Structure 1
Amino acid sequence: MLDHNRRNLLLGAMLTPLLASLPRLAAASEVAMPEHAMPGMGRDMDKVPWMGDEQIAMLVYPGMTVMDLVGPHCMFGALMGAKIHIVAKTLDPVTSDAGLTIVPGATFETCPRDVTVLFTPGGTDGTLAAATDPQTLAFMADRGARAKYVTSVCSGSLILGAAGLLKGYKATSHWSCRAALAGFGALPTDARVVRDRNRITGAGVTAGLDFGLAMIAELRDQTYAECTQLMSEYDPEPPFNAGSMKTAPAAVQEAMRQLAADFSRKAEALSRSIQG
């Protein structure tokens, strides 16, 4: 099982002075911040909201793309005090499209009714199956109606759209299915991370890291996000300049369009069926 508390090690080295200085609390639900949260690091660091109490629900389902989940989860795991719920229809292990298995910690019934962040990863055929599953859509629509933030990465936005959560909102997705969002009443937007009011969506796969950092800045502040980025050493220097349809060589673009053509057609058909 993924243990979100272990993800707090991401900031552990930096925040050890803070944790050591926290006084004993009369009630476990109260967090009294010391006058100088980060000794020796300047007045601005004293104002950073290091502790929080966010409830984050992350959907998992068979055939999801695991990087869509793990990238944001790694970033969310740096939120000290937050509780991450890995949610599925049952507590049975869920196997990703790459064969990595995740064990959920909550079901649609046991996940908190009111969450700070509702999140779904993407995939291909597994995502299309989840986007047509009545129980999954009912769960997403219910929690999404009350969540402070409704979010996704990659083709996970198809699930948000199918649940009726993107009507009238700008949103992004993987390039192979971004156009299909229009069928759900969304406004497809070509960007790495797109925010429209409380809908925050990330583009394909690795955009989950950018999405995660943007969410940390939204939930806490920019300094907290920058500290997380530094501890993660997220400073990408890809060996090739082919990570976007804007930069990839024409031959690579054409090859990938052909490879993704069947999924693109299925995504368009899904959005038309929901629209109809």
Structure 2
Amino acid sequence: MQVAIVLYPGFTSLDVIGPYEVWGRLPDTEVVFVAERPGLVVNDLRSLSVNVVAGFGDVPNPDVVLIGGGPGQTEQMSDGNLHEWLRRVDGASAWTTSVCTGSLILAAAGVLTGRRATSHWAALEHLAEFGVTPSKERVVIDGHYATAAGVSAGIDMALTLAGLLVGDDVAQTVQLIIEYAPEPPYHAGALESAPARVVESAMEKLSTRFPSR
């Protein structure tokens, strides 16, 4: 099984590295990072880069496709080589997946039209602009599409998909290996539980990236 993880400048690291840590441990699985322009691709914090050796033409038939989000997502919304590749590989992939605002890129490419999907809470409403039904669920499965909410939800999605691909026992073994048993020190990880002042602060920081309609 081949998993293709798409990178672009300004990607959020955990969006893609979380699922990589899960899927890279599955039996008989090759994970390849792919980009429109191979080479060093720098993340949104501009302090981590991945040396991508594969271009779109090098990965024509992946079994699983993943695209994450990040501030660089806004530059990937116009139709072009990335969208063309996503549509092409989506036609044959077993699963097409996203984390965070990666679902907006899939939606803009037209592959999620008429589907349910999720995204980062601050961007969720924008899915409807592309004919996609927004869902507040942390992980959404609709057909052969698996979308995850913001950033850390990618680990949940990857484990969910691992169970569907190779069975619950293998998925749980990976979960134990990576010791994924979150016990956050705060209850501020969702709009419903975060204090009002924290919500206000987060919305202020994200306002330029996710303007309200």
* TM-score bucket (shorter structure): over 0.9
Identify the residue that residue 131 of structure 1 maps to in structure 2: 77
Identify the residue that residue 123 of structure 2 maps to in structure 1: 177
- Structure 1 residues 206 and 219: CA distance shift in structure 2, 3 A: same
Letter of the structure 2 residue corresponding to residue 167 of structure 1: T
CA distance in 1, matches of 2:199, 2:39: 38
1:132 CA drift (Å): 1.9
Matching residue within 241, 248, 251 for 2:197: 251
Whether the 8 Å contact between 2:79 and 2:109 is mirrored in structure 1 is: no
Stretches of structure 2 that go unaligned for 5 or more consecutive residues are none
Query: SS at 1:216's partner residue?
Result: helix
Query: SS at 1:115's partner residue?
Result: coil
Letter of the structure 1 residue corresponding to residue 104 of structure 2: L
- Tell me the matched-pair count: 212
Q: Which has the higher strand share?
A: 2
1:258 CA drift (Å): 2.1
Runs of 4+ in 1 over 6 A off after TM superposition: none
Identify the residue that residue 97 of structure 1 maps to in structure 2: 44
Task: State percent identity of aligned pairs.
Answer: 36
Matching residue within 86, 97, 105 for 1:151: 97
Is 2:185 the partner of 1:239? yes
CA distance in 2, matches of 1:164, 1:182: 12
Whether the 8 Å contact between 2:39 and 2:53 is mirrored in structure 1 is: no
Identify the residue that residue 3 of structure 2 maps to in structure 1: 56
Q: Deviations over 1:118-165 (max 9, x none)?
A: 1101012x1010222511111111111221111000000011001101
1:188 CA drift (Å): 0.3
Question: TM-score, structure 1 length as denominator?
Answer: 0.75
CA distance in 2, matches of 1:165, 1:249: 36
1:203 CA drift (Å): 0.5
Q: Deviations over 1:21-62 (max 9, x none)?
A: xxxxxxxxxxxxxxxxxxxxxxxxxxxxxxxxx111110000
Whether the 8 Å contact between 1:64 and 1:97 is mirrored in structure 2 is: yes
Is 2:54 the partner of 1:106? yes
The CA RMSD over aligned residues, in Å, is 1.2
Which segment is superposed worse, 132-141 or 217-226?
A: 132-141
Query: SS at 1:106's partner residue?
Result: coil
Identify the residue that residue 26 of structure 2 maps to in structure 1: 79
Query: SS at 2:207's partner residue?
Result: helix
Identify the residue that residue 15 of structure 1 maps to in structure 2: none
Identify the residue that residue 272 of structure 1 maps to in structure 2: none
CA distance in 1, matches of 2:79, 2:8: 11
Identify the residue that residue 143 of structure 2 maps to in structure 1: 197
Query: SS at 2:78's partner residue?
Result: coil
1:263 CA drift (Å): 1.4
CA distance in 1, matches of 2:111, 2:21: 25
Q: Deviations over 1:190-217 (max 9, x none)?
A: 0111101111000000111111111110
Identify the residue that residue 142 of structure 1 maps to in structure 2: 88
